[in-house]
Amino acid sequence: MLRTSLSLLRRHALAPRLLRAGLRTSAQRRSGNPPMDFPCIDKLESRQRDLLSGPEPTYEKIVTGYQTYQHPSPFTCDHGGQLTGMRIAYETWGTPNPEKSNAILIHTGLSGSSHARSHELNRNPGWWEKFIGPGLAIDTNKFYVICTNVIGGCYGSTGPSSLDESGARYATTFPLLTVNDMVRAQFHLMDYLGIRKLHASVGASMGGMQSLCAAALHSERVGRLVTISACARSHPYSIALRFAQRQALMSDPNFNRGHYYDGVQPHVGMKLARSIATVTYRSGPEWELRFGRRRQKPDQPPALCPDFLIETYLDHQSERFCLQYDANSLLYVSKAMDMFDISHSVTQRLERQRTEKQTACTSVCMDASEQPASEEGHSGVETGDEIMADLVRGVSSAMQPTLVLGVQSDILFPVRQQKEIADILRRAGNTKVTYYELDAMYGHDTFLIDVVNVGAAIKGHLENSD
C-alpha cells in the first residue's frame, strides 16, 4: 500500500514541471513578455522529489555522543497523558566533586540539543562552545556541567518522533507538554546522577524559562539562578510570532496532521516557520550594517526569489534547518513556551491537573468558579495588580542569588520582560538579584554571540562566593 502511494506521489511530482512549461509558453504567447524564473520554487520541487525517493531524516543521528537516562516509571504530563519509558539525552563536561555540589544544569532553547560543547565522543563544536570549558564563563575546571535535550525534542530525548509502546511513532498522539514538565523530567535525571542540589541552573530564551522554573519550583535543589533573555510568562507578541510559525508549518500539504513519518517531511512549512523565527532572533540595526539594501546580483533585473542579501540570508538559514529538526517537536515545544507562566495560580492548577490525572483540559484553563472577578487586564481574568501579585507568589521560594540578563535590541523577549523577572523576585523578598541590560545589536541571539559581555556576567555570578 505504502509503495503504491509513493509511486503515485512520484508520478504526481512530475506534474508541476509539465504544467509550468505549458503555462510559461501560453503566457509568453499572450503578452509577448518573457516569463519570470522561479529558481527558489524549482529547488523546493527538487527536494520534494528527492524526499520521495530517499530515506526519511533520522534526527537522532544529527547529534551524537550523548548519554541516555530512561525513567523507570510512567511520566505523567501536566495536561494529561503519560510517557512510558521516557528517555532524556544528556551530555556532561568537567568532574563532579565528592559531594556533587559543583553541578551546573544548562537548559536549552527551543531547538537546542544536549551538545552544548565538544568532547571526545562528539568533536563537533557545541551551540555554546565558547562559553563552556576550562577557564571559560562556565569553567569546567571548577564545575560539573550537564546539558539535556528537553523532552518533546528530537535529539535523543522522548518526543513526537519517538516510538510509543506499540512500536509506532507518537506523532501528534504525543501529549501536550509544559516547561514545568521539561524541568521535572530534568530533576529525575539529577536524581539518577546523584545530584541533590545544583550549584546553579542556567538558561537563555526557553532555557531561561526553565532555569526560572527550576529555581521557583525546586528551590531547595538550586543554589544559583541565571536567566537570560527570558520571561516570567509568555506575552502576546511572542505568542503571536510562534503561532505564525506553527500555522505556516501545519499548512504544508505534507504535514498530514503530524503523521508524516512514513512519507515526505513538511519541509516547505518548516522552512517558512524558520524564516519567520530567524527574523525574531536578530535585530534591524545588525542587518542594516551587515546587509543594508544590497542585492545578490545587482547587475541583473530584480527577482521574486531571494534577491536582496537579507533574503538570501533568511533563505540559507531556513534551508539548513528544515530537515534537521522534527516538525512535530517544533509544534510541541513552541506551544509549551506559549503556555509558560510562573504565576502561583497557574502552577497550582497544573499540579492539580497532573495529580488528579485530568486529561479533559488541554490548555491552561480555569473553571468559571475559579476565575476572580476583575475589571481589566489579563484576558478579562485579572487586573494588572492581580497579575503581579500572582507572579510574586509564584517565585516566593526562589531566594537564590540571581542573575537576570536582557538585551536592548531583543524583539522576541524585550527587556521589559527581564525587568519583570527581576522585579517579581525582589518583591518576593530576594535581596540578591542582579539585573544587567546589554546594549548589543545582535537581538535575541546575543546570548549565543556576545562571549565577552554575556560570558563575563555569567562567570562572575557563578564564581561569586556570596
Neighbours of 298 (CB within 10 A): 8
Q: Report the C-alpha gap between 431 and 425 in whole angstroms.
A: 8
Rounded to 5 degrees, φ, ψ at 405 are -115, 135
* Catalytic choice (181, 326, 341, 410): 410
What does DSSP assign to residue 351?
H
**103 close to 79: Cβ distance less than 8 angstroms:** no
User: Which positions ≥6 away from 407 have C-beta within 8 Å?
Assistant: 229, 415, 437, 438, 440, 442, 443, 444, 446, 447
* Catalytic choice (444, 445, 450, 461): 444
* Catalytic choice (111, 157, 162, 205): 205
Helix (H, G, I), strand (E, B) or coil at 233: strand
Q: Report the C-alpha gap between 32 and 339 in whole angstroms.
A: 54
User: Which positions ≥6 away from 153 have C-beta within 8 Å?
Assistant: 89, 111, 112, 113, 159, 326, 329, 333
**94 close to 141: Cβ distance less than 8 angstroms:** yes
Pairing of strands 82-83, 75-76: antiparallel
Q: How far is CA 231 from its chain centroid?
A: 14
| 205 part of the active site | yes
Show which residues are catalytic: 205, 410, 444
